[in-house]
């Protein structure tokens, strides 16, 4: 269904939007209000908006109250206020009893008694500036000492060697006696109008030329000479007002982080970079790829945060792919293809555009397409300040753009909160002209185009040397720009174009344990595929009774595959009998499902079914996996016919399939020596279904044996509420602990949990609420069960990069490299681990945060255990980015949430059926 109604139904499913103060209408800036450093004034929306008739805005803004964004919200957070009209009273009550005497030596220079007794004149002149001295930001003086958890070289017998490393962090320093100093401004007689307050403060801009003021609280980068400064201002009616500016405190470094990040985005805008989400890109350095009608914009992802050694800026090189064709050209191509294929062109256009992101070059903004209205065109009108104006005339007047095609449909996007300039309660929608928009990103068809992706990799795969050089050039560009460097200097900040250097351990290569007590050391390229192919697996399971299903035209492919599988199974230690061949008439999902049903009814002893699909089709795959995993409970292996069609690759592909099948039958391909006794290792991940933010699947995988090669899996589907998520995790723990005792005769003494999918903002909740609830739930077990529990958060979508720095050159570090100092979290036990080996581009590390170390593992043991577990993922004969239990939990949650959408059969839970 196309048109406005489609948009309404789509918007009704979106997540609640955080409430935010509507921006002011466009016009000349208020002369009484100072320039806004942290967040520039929001201009009038560059795209006309029209209200959505009948849309219930209460639904869109309801829900959990989130922290508002922007300068004023930031200042309110600093003051720990509520942002209400009674902010003045709240601040007064909160800080009235604070004794500033104890803060003298920490946050301000000592003031002599003579200075205290001096009468404050009506207008103070700024004190004489002393020579500027650059110092490191004294983080340790403002907060408690950092948590330092690192390994140190003790002897040559250590399992690691120290090496020189670098990362994509730039140290940020601060001028002495500068920071963010907070003052309370009182007016006598009281002044209620905020504009008048700004006017009075601006009269004394020579005393504080650089400031941020919200009407009550004043923030300046350098402390004023006195604790209490009294000034006199004059309103426009010539009435006198006394301003009492009282020092409150110097904000701690952690409270300044948001201020510095907003400030950094201001710097990016000054440099002329274009924002895409949280990244900024340089359109002047875009790279054209004309053969594929694409262009690549280079850019940066930057964040400032407090780390173990102070304040650092993380700067990651990024790339954004844009389509050269306009959206109108893409619409025209779709319509021509639909005409040739006798399909509905409108539905094809909707499918291609809805949910996509477009950029409008006339105002350098991005929008998400929510709908396409085929009843509108550029001649349609909208209400602009009570006057009906056509889109054609609007763009001609505002941007001097002449729209050529006057019959094209209009794209609809829900207006962003900051772009809504009307003061009523109705949400607005923006109407975009396809002729003036370009799509961003790649389609699924493009991602499968080998030549296209190869061309993109030539520009987007950046080596460590080039990456670090780009970061240095970026910092030099900031320092060389007059406006950007002045902003930095105003607040006393300084960046040196030198990436951080540190020392870190590199752990020795592990030894793979195979069948018949064979041990093979891992090579430099972290690939042991040849060793696995030539030796028996650690635990091999025979295939004595299995079936293979295929279409009649794929019979030669099926026969060659069965022959090759039997040949590959012998060196792997698998005895593979000839299968029961079953031909399937038809290609519909129903034909495959009915055949599988009939086969299992006639032979209930079948261990496994192999299904060869004629082509890739999602509904057929989902139907087959649903009946096998959920309804019947039998392991299944689905193969696309084209995968087996090349004889030269048949052997290597069949070997990988044999390893998968062995795992699905309960076997183990290899093992790693992990000297932990009576310990259960758990991996947890959560899958969120796209477009339906209310449903999610928890994948829970736990080890069952001392070699950590046998895994028990539990999946749970529930709505995304905190209570139900925690209940699912606690129920899963109960199941796996019971299984562990049934297999080993006793409950696990230690439980080590690796959990993915936790953002920085959720760490405190997980540590203080979820973990304590979980430990409390163990007490309900028989015998007052109280295991030692360690919880380690795994974060793989990070912007940190790790480089080896040898002979003043940057390169990819070896697998097993760890950064555990300098740029690690100030208040957490954490580290970055490089577990993979890459042949091109830059390797991505994984961030591990140890929220609780109840098992009392040493720093070295936590790092080594995490690295060892990266060797145990059986779908790849090499190390992976995250520990194997986390990757298994991800695969389980994805299969159930994306394909099966039902709970798996209990009979499959003791094997890796989801590989």
Among candidate residues 258, 837, 871, 890, the one labeled active-site is 890
Tokens coding 181 = 């100093």
Strands 357-360 and 365-368: antiparallel
Among candidate residues 373, 685, 770, 860, the one labeled active-site is 685
Work out the angle at residue 183's Cα, subtended by the Cα atoms of residues 179 and 187, and round it to the nearest 5 degrees: 155
Angle between helix 618-626 and helix 589-602 axes, rounded to 10 deg: 20
Tokens coding 760 = 């920085």
Strand partners, 231: 243
The three-state (H, E, C) secondary structure of 383-451, written as one string: EECCEEEEHHHHHHHHHCCCCCCCCCCEEEEECCHHHCCCCCCCCEEEEECHHHEEEECCCHHHHCCHH
Closest residue by Cα to residue 170 from 844, 813, 800, 827: 800
Closest residue by Cα to residue 122 from 242, 227, 35: 242
- Region of 861 on the Ramachandran plot (φ > 0 left; ψ -120 to 50 alpha; else beta): alpha
- CA 887 to chain CA centroid, Å, is 17
Tokens coding 361 = 């070059």
Strands 546-550 and 410-414: unpaired
How many helices and strands in the chain, by DSSP H and E?
Answer: 26, 39
Specify the length of the chain in residues: 915
What Å distances lie between residue 767 and 160, 763, 776, CA to CA? 30, 6, 13
Among candidate residues 305, 316, 435, 756, the one labeled active-site is 756
Q: Is 864 within 8 Å of 885 (Cβ atoms)?
A: no
Asked if the peptide bond before residue 189 counts as cis, ω within 30 degrees of 0, the response is yes
Query: Distance between the two ends of the chain, CA-based, in angstroms?
Result: 38
Q: Is 831 within 8 Å of 505 (Cβ atoms)?
A: no
Among candidate residues 724, 749, 767, 773, the one labeled active-site is 724
Tokens coding 132 = 């500027």
Q: How far apart are CA 568 and CA 574, in angstroms?
A: 8
What Å distances lie between residue 123 and 579, 678, 802, 825, CA to CA? 96, 74, 53, 45
Active site residue 890: yes
Angle between helix 87-95 and helix 71-79 axes, rounded to 10 deg: 30
Strands 178-188 and 493-507: unpaired
Q: Is 159 within 8 Å of 839 (Cβ atoms)?
A: no
Count of beta carbons in the 10 Å neighbourhood of residue 354: 18
Active site residue 619: no
What Å distances lie between residue 359 and 11, 274, 578, 659, CA to CA? 21, 10, 57, 46
Helix (H) or strand (E) holding 245: strand 240-250
- CA 412 to chain CA centroid, Å, is 27
Q: Is 580 within 8 Å of 603 (Cβ atoms)?
A: yes
Q: How far apart are CA 295 and CA 554, in angstroms?
A: 41
Please identify which residue in the block is written with the tokens 């997540």.
Answer: 15
Q: How far apart are CA 715 and CA 732, in angstroms?
A: 8
Active site residue 773: no
Tokens coding 661 = 């099948």
The three-state (H, E, C) secondary structure of 760-799, written as one string: HHHHHHHHHHHHHHHHHHHHHCCCCCCCEEEEEEEECCCC
Active site residue 449: no
Count of beta carbons in the 10 Å neighbourhood of residue 556: 11
The residues carrying an active-site annotation are 685, 724, 756, 890
């Amino acid at each position: 269904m196309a048109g406005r109604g489609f948009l309404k139904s789509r918007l009704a499913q979106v997540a609640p939007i955080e409430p935010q103060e509507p921006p002011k209408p466009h016009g000349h800036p208020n002369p009484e209000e100072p320039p806004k450093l942290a967040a520039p004034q929001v201009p009038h929306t560059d795209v006309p908006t029209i209200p959505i008739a009948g849309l219930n805005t209460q639904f869109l803004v309801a829900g959990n109250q989130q922290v508002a964004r922007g300068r004023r919200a930031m200042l309110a957070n600093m003051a720990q206020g509520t942002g209400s009209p009674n902010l003045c009273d709240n601040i007064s009550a909160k800080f009235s009893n604070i004794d500033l005497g104890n803060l003298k030596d920490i946050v301000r220079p000592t003031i002599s008694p003579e200075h205290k007794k001096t009468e404050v004149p009506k207008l103070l002149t700024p004190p004489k500036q002393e020579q500027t001295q650059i110092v490191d930001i004294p983080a340790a003086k403002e907060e408690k000492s950092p948590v330092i958890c690192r390994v140190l070289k003790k002897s040559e017998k250590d399992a690691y060697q120290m090496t020189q490393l670098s990362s994509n962090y730039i140290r940020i320093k601060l001028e002495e006696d500068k920071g963010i100093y907070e003052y309370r401004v009182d007016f006598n007689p009281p002044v209620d109008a905020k504009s008048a307050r700004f006017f009075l403060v601006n009269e004394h801009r020579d005393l504080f030329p650089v400031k941020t003021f919200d009407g009550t609280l004043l923030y300046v980068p350098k402390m004023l000479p006195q604790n209490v400064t009294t000034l006199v201002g004059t309103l426009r009616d010539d009435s006198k007002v006394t301003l009492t500016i009282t020092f409150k405190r110097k904000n701690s470094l952690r409270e300044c982080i948001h201020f510095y990040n907003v400030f950094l985005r201001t710097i990016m805008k000054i440099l002329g970079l274009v924002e895409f989400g949280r990244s900024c890109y340089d359109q002047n350095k875009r790279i054209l790829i004309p053969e594929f009608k694409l262009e690549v914009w280079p850019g940066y992802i930057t964040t400032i945060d407090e780390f173990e050694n102070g304040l650092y800026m993380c700067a990651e090189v990024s790339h954004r792919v844009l389509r050269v064709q306009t959206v109108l050209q893409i619409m025209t191509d779709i319509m021509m293809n639909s005409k040739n294929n006798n399909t509905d062109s409108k539905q094809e256009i909707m499918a291609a555009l809805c949910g996509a992101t477009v950029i409008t070059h006339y105002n350098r903004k991005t929008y998400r397409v929510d709908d396409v209205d085929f009843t509108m065109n550029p001649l349609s009108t909208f209400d602009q300040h009570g006057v009906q104006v056509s889109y054609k005339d609007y763009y001609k007047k505002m941007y001097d753009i002449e729209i050529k095609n006057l019959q094209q449909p209009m794209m609809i996007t829900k207006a962003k909160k900051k772009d809504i300039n009307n003061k009523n309660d109705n949400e607005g929608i923006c109407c975009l002209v396809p002729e003036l928009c370009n799509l961003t990103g790649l389609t699924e068809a493009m991602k499968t185009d080998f030549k296209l992706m190869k061309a993109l990799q030539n520009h987007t795969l950046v080596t460590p040397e080039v990456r670090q050089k780009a970061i240095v050039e970026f910092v030099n560009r900031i320092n060389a720009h007059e406006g950007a460097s002045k902003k930095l200097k105003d607040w006393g900040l300084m960046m040196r174009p030198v990436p951080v250097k540190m020392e870190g351990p590199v752990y020795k290569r592990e030894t793979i344990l195979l069948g018949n007590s064979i041990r093979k050391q891992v090579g430099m390229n972290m690939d042991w595929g040849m060793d696995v192919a030539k030796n028996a697996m650690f635990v091999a399971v025979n295939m004595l009774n299995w079936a293979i299903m295929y279409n009649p035209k794929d019979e030669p492919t099926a026969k060659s595959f069965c022959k090759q599988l039997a040949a590959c199974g012998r060196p792997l230690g698998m005895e593979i009998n000839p299968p029961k061949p079953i031909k399937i008439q038809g290609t519909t999902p129903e034909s495959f499902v009915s055949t599988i049903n009939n086969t299992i009814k006639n032979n209930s002893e079948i261990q496994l079914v192999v299904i060869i699909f004629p082509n890739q089709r999602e509904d057929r795959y989902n139907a087959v996996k649903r009946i096998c995993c959920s309804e019947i409970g039998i392991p299944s292996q689905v193969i696309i016919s084209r995968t087996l069609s090349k004889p030269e690759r048949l052997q290597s592909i069949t070997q990988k399939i044999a390893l998968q099948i062995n795992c699905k039958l309960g076997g183990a391909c290899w093992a790693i020596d992990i000297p932990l006794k009576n310990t259960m290792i758990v991996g947890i991940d959560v899958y969120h279904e796209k477009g339906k933010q209310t449903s999610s699947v928890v994948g829970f995988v736990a080890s069952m044996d001392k070699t950590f090669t046998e895994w028990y899996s539990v999946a749970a589907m529930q709505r995304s509420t905190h209570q139900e998520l925690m209940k699912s995790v606690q129920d899963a723990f109960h199941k796996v602990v019971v299984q562990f005792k049934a297999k080993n005769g006793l409950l696990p003494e230690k439980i080590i949990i690796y959990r993915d999918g936790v953002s920085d903002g959720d760490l405190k909740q997980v540590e203080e609420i979820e973990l304590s609830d979980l430990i409390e739930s163990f007490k309900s077990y028989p015998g007052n069960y109280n295991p030692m529990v360690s919880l380690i958060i795994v974060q793989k979508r990070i912007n940190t990069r790790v480089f080896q720095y040898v002979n003043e050159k940057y390169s990819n570090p070896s697998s097993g490299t760890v950064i555990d100092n300098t740029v690690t979290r100030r208040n957490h036990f954490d580290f970055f681990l490089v577990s993979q080996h890459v042949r091109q581009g830059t390797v991505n590390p994984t961030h591990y945060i140890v929220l609780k170390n109840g098992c009392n593992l040493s720093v070295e043991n936590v790092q080594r255990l995490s690295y060892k577990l990266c060797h145990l993922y059986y779908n790849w004969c090499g190390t992976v980015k995250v520990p194997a239990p986390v990757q298994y939990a991800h695969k389980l949650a994805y299969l159930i949430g994306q394909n099966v959408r039902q709970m798996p059969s209990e009979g499959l839970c003791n094997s890796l059926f989801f590989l």
